[in-house]
């Protein structure tokens, strides 16, 4: 056989393989898990859509697709109304159908990414999702205050909903290892985390951005915090005392050099090798969850984390006095129960 014929046959074979792969992808498109997105006013919305819908997506994400989205938005939140139109058009350009309501979105999808940047929107927006029985990831912050966060948790229990919420920092490999590696997690005596801590008047102080660093702290320490004490200066420092005597400290940066970090004080080593690894590790956990896998972080731990932040606010108001998390959660639960009564017929 001549070299020309060999080359021609090779090209024909490659073309046939590519055609077969292309045909298989088109044929399997109807089998993809359909993702709906609520809230297109955060940079997470186009970033998540691009990563999930990429032809290079792997694992569970390769079997999923963002197919429809409801822009949402908040007229009184600058970071929302200044970005929602631009992000909506960007996502429309990715081939995602834009709908005008959550009710119009839900019949078109199997699972939901609730991405609204405004935590105040999460409670009313997630309620129809819970009622529809759709698994949902709720981006940070879970709510704008603890009452809203607890109300979401209570409604989730009422409707037997599958949901979780997390900052992307939790699943960075150099951070999540302190939770998932038994050898590392069992020796932690204390931890200090830090992150930018900008504020917005529509949200409880740390909820707006401090949530990132608090999420890192809880990833290392785990639940079990009993009391919180806060000190404010140029920055903010919150010290939590865990039931076993361990101390977990969050340092919120409000000026100067900013960044994310986590330091672990263990039985033997002191470890400061924790860095932020972007959105992909979180998206992989979301994909696993949407595919029927376990909760990447328990709802109870998420609620305790937000109780920690609400208690920090109360400590500030009390001049730095220690605040018991149990008392803060009890009060918020009472308020959340009343809030739910106003939402449900």
Please write the tens of the pLDDT for every residue from 212-222: 999 999 999 99
Total number of domains in the chain: 2
Is the domain of 136 the same as that of 187? Answer: no
Quick one: average pLDDT of 232-245?
A: 97
- pTM, entire model: 0.90
Task: Report the alpha-carbon distance of residue 212 to residue 252 in Å, rounded.
Answer: 10
DSSP state of 162: -
Is the domain of 100 the same as that of 230? Answer: no
Q: How many helices (H) and strands (E) would you count in the chain? A: 13, 13
pLDDT of residue 182 exceeding 80, the answer is: no
**What is the predicted pLDDT for the residue at 21?**
40
**Which of 150, 168, 186 lies at the terminal end of a domain, its last residue?**
168
Is the domain of 181 the same as that of 156? Answer: no
Which of left, alpha, beta for 259 (phi over 0: left; psi -120 to 50: alpha)? Answer: left
More confident residue, 3 or 152: 152
Partners of residue 137 on adjacent β-strands: 113, 164
Is the domain of 117 the same as that of 39? Answer: yes
**What is the predicted pLDDT for the residue at 181?**
87
Q: Quick one: pLDDT band at residue 267, thresholds 50, 70, 90?
A: confident
Quick one: average pLDDT of 48-75?
A: 96
More confident residue, 52 or 14: 52
Is the domain of 292 the same as that of 176? Answer: yes
Is the domain of 186 the same as that of 107? Answer: no
Is the domain of 144 the same as that of 177? Answer: no
**Which of 168, 198, 213 lies at the terminal end of a domain, its last residue?**
168
**What is the predicted pLDDT for the residue at 12?**
45
Do 154 and 341 touch, CB atoms closer than 8 A? no
pLDDT of residue 65 exceeding 50, the answer is: yes
Q: Quick one: pLDDT band at residue 28, thresholds 50, 70, 90?
A: low
CATH of the domain at 244: 3.30.360.10
Is the domain of 27 the same as that of 53? Answer: yes
Q: Quick one: pLDDT band at residue 2, thresholds 50, 70, 90?
A: low
Mean pLDDT, all residues of the chain: 91
Of 251, 229, 231, 232, the closest CA to residue 240 belongs to 229
Is the domain of 59 the same as that of 121? Answer: yes
| Largest pairwise CA distance in the chain | 89
Is the domain of 150 the same as that of 251? Answer: no
Is the domain of 104 the same as that of 180? Answer: no
Quick one: average pLDDT of 134-144?
A: 97
Residue-number span of the structural domain to which 288 is assigned: 169-343
Is the domain of 336 the same as that of 220? Answer: yes
CATH of the domain at 7: 3.40.50.720
Task: Report the alpha-carbon distance of residue 41 to residue 54 in Å, rounded.
Answer: 21
Residues 314, 315, 321: CA angle, nearest 5 degrees: 140
**Which of 153, 168, 183 lies at the terminal end of a domain, its last residue?**
168
**What is the predicted pLDDT for the residue at 157?**
98
The two structure tokens encoding residue 208: 């707006």
Q: How many CA atoms lie within 13 A of 80 on its CB side?
A: 17
| pLDDT tens readout for residues 280-289 | 999 999 999 9
Q: Quick one: pLDDT band at residue 8, thresholds 50, 70, 90?
A: very low
């Amino acid at each position: 056989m001549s070299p020309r014929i060999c080359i021609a046959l090779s090209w024909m074979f490659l073309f046939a393989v590519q055609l077969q792969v292309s045909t298989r992808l088109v044929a399997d498109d109807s089998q993809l898990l359909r993702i709906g997105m609520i809230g297109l006013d955060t940079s997470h919305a186009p970033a998540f859509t691009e990563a999930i819908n990429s032809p290079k997506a792997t694992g569970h994400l390769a079997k999923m697709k963002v197919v429809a989205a409801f822009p949402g938005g908040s007229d009184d939140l600058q970071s929302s109304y200044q970005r929602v139109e631009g992000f909506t058009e960007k996502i429309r350009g990715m081939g995602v159908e834009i709908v005008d309501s959550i009710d119009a979105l839900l019949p078109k999808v199997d699972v939901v990414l609730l991405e609204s940047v405004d935590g105040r929107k999460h409670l009313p927006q997630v309620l129809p999702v819970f009622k529809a029985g759709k698994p949902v990831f709720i981006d940070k912050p879970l709510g704008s205050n603890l009452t809203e966060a607890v109300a979401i948790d209570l409604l989730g229990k009422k409707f037997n909903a599958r949901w979780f919420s997390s900052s992307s920092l939790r699943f960075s490999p150099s951070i999540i290892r302190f939770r998932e590696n038994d050898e590392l997690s069992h020796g932690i005596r204390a931890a200090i985390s830090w992150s930018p801590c900008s504020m917005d008047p529509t949200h409880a102080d740390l909820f707006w951005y401090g949530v990132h660093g608090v999420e890192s702290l809880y990833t290392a320490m785990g639940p079990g915090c009993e009391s919180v004490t806060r000190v404010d200066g140029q920055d903010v420092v919150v010290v939590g005392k865990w039931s076993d005597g361990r101390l977990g400290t969050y340092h919120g940066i409000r000026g100067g050099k900013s960044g994310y970090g986590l330091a672990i004080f263990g039985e033997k080593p002191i470890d400061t090798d924790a860095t932020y690894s972007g959105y992909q590790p979180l998206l992989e956990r979301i994909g696993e969850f949407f595919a029927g896998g376990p909760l990447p972080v328990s709802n109870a731990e998420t609620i305790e984390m937000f109780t920690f932040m609400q208690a920090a606010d109360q400590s500030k108001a009390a001049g730095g006095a220690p605040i018991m998390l149990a008392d803060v959660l009890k009060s918020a639960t009472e308020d959340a129960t009343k809030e739910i009564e106003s939402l449900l017929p």
